[in-house]
A and B are shown apart, each in its own frame.
Chain A
Amino acid sequence: MRQTTSHKLWLIAPAALMVGIFFLYPLCFSLYSAITLDGSLTLTHLDKAFDLYSKDILFTIIIVLISVAILAILSITIAALITLSPFRSLTKTLGFLYRLPLFIPFIVTAQMMRTFLAKNGLMNNAFVASGLLTPMDTVSFLGWSGIIITFVWKQLAFSTLLISGAMAALDESQIRAARNLGASRLRILLQIILPQIIPTLGVAIVLSIVTMMSVLSVPLMIGTGSPTMMTADMAFRINSYGDYHVANALGLVSYCICAGLAWFYLRQNLKEKGAN
């Protein structure tokens, strides 16, 4: 028995070593580099990062929170329509539609939006042609609103897939019972379905936040100007100054933001488990 166990560890070793050497080691190195100077602990890099980029850090947090809020509302609406709507043909169309961006890469999305949302892009042209806007009123959406639109457009398929999956897995008899007792569809959604899918919603949100915090192409291609997202600042810091300390300090801040949000989610989750 012991022999087979050690055998199995050997099977895992190559994969574990790869993650260890090429992910965990650089990860620890980045943390180390963020808080040390010539081998001694220091806060100068973090201070400098906050001095130079506090606006961008705030901008990143706000962008991510707004995107996630819109994502949550939209995915819940779509998933709820698929689960509760009595019109089969509509739900089928919707089920096909929302999956469309699932495997479209971020960089392709960024390129689409870069031309679509520009001042003279297809979107504004369509508004002008339909008489909704005059050419003088058009504004470019490249900037903070463009970043949010791109994030939501790309992540919508993923979060809706998770949430509608969770809704489909619910016990259907509960919904039927509630309907028989005369509950409206909105009430069923808010009081019966939502409370049960909160864990999945949390997973979708945390994963989306981590994704948004690590995408570089979108802020580079759509977020023209200042303030911009922290990922663009890190790339700039490295490519223009070779300044790994401040870049890593910014990385540390982004870990902390993600960790903070994940902790918030876990705490909520634990609280609910405790209440039950």
Chain B
Amino acid sequence: MGEMSGSSTDVDFIQLLTPEGTLVSSDEYQNTCTDEQIAGFYRDMTLTRRIDTEATALQRQGELGLWASCLGQEAAQIGSGRALGGQDHVFPTYREHGVAWTLGIDPVDLLRLFRGVDLGGWDPDQTRFNLYTIVIGAQTLHATGYAMGLERDGLVGTGDPDRDAAVIGYLGDGATSQGDVSEAFVFAASYNAPVVFICQNNQWAISEPIERQSRIPLYRRSAGFGFPGVRVDGNDVLAMYAVTQQALERARSGSGPSFIEAYTYRMGAHTTSDDPTKYRLGDEVEHWRLKDPIARVKAYLVRNGAVTEDYFTEIDAEADDLAADLRKRCLELPEPRLVDAFDHVYAEQTPYLEEQKANYAAYLDTFTDDDQEDQLPVQGGVR
């Protein structure tokens, strides 16, 4: 396989923190983070993992219809998310819970889609985090178009750090096969758009290994479209931070798009509806467990005496509180009403839809109160 395979580990990647927790440096990239920042990454990743495991538990208890876990991908998400500047925008997939965390999205809002109370619970303009996209790859074109808009609006290459902006478009390894993604690459290159594509290569697209999508390492794809690509140890939060920061800076300054392949692994199932024992070997999971993104940061912090033991205890306590709060507020999410759904189809309501709504409301009125069934629990699940 070697260089021929999209999953090849023979290819170097950028790494700044080893799985054992020691700092290393590369020619191009150095760690610039203070110990305080690194301790902050530890907190971000630990809390993200807690949100993720709590959501998985909520799904198992029937409170969510589905959950797409980001277990094992915390470094790729926190490292890149923390590199975002105050004017940058994000176009996520459906799995970027860690990135959402870095932008201050209330975690309970992430649950709304998965609980089925609405189709996306935050304001993308205010949070600079677009709504989750289920159709694979579609968001890479949106990210590119948004970046083209920033450029037109004179928000790129001004040299003013309070003005210049860029976009990150996230995607999975499977998504690289979609036509939309190739088209996004063409547009981004052709218009020199200020967009950074971050591909979390977690090795699997549901049951299909990366070899089914690519015979070359993914980071080399972008060269064919005319912009740089780099492979990063996706389980290394420091490397992800440094490389993303540089790519965003490049985009903001007007030097165009770039592609980052975060080489990582999906520790859990694809989603709560998936059963990876049908296609994946246990050994592989064990191999990756040793590269855990959180453990290595902890090892670094301990080894260098950057924080006291209390720091970890405090964060564990914070995670417990966060999980309890998340659970409580998930159960308290108000039930939606179908009559309200008629109001959000068009900016200008149509007469026929108004009529449908009125007829439906009248139909509902024909039922007496004790006819009304209790809300059914969320049932089943899907990918």
> Does B associate with A?
no
Interface residues of B (CB under 8 A from A): none
Interface residues of A (CB under 8 A from B): none
